[in-house]
């Protein structure tokens, strides 16, 4: 019985670490995307903020 619970906890630990690694990979991919598209994104973001200023 003790053997079964230790294997079970090890499985849940590996599942959570896989989930953590997946989350880190998603965040890293998002930052790479932002970094590569920053030159295009920043002017559109600034114009969007100007638009908000005009609306207010």
Task: Report pLDDT digits (tens) over 12-46.
Answer: 778 888 899 999 999 999 988 888 888 788 888 88
Q: What residues make up the domain containing 36? A: 1-56
pLDDT (0 to 100) of residue 15? 80
State the total domains in the chain: 1
Q: What is the pLDDT of residue 23?
A: 93
Tell me what pLDDT residue 50 has.
87
Angstrom distances, CA of residue 23 to CA of 3, 26, 29, 30, 43: 31, 5, 10, 11, 29
Asked whether residue 51 carries a pLDDT value surpassing 60, the answer given is: yes
Residue 41: name the closest of 49, 53, 26, 19 by CA.
49
User: Which three-class secondary structure state does DSSP give residue 38?
Assistant: helix
């Amino acid at each position: 019985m003790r053997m079964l619970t230790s294997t079970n906890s090890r499985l849940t630990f590996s599942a959570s670490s896989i989930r953590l690694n997946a989350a880190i990979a998603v965040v890293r991919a998002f930052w790479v995307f932002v970094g590569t598209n920053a030159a295009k994104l920043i002017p559109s973001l600034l114009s969007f903020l100007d638009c908000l200023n005009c609306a207010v």
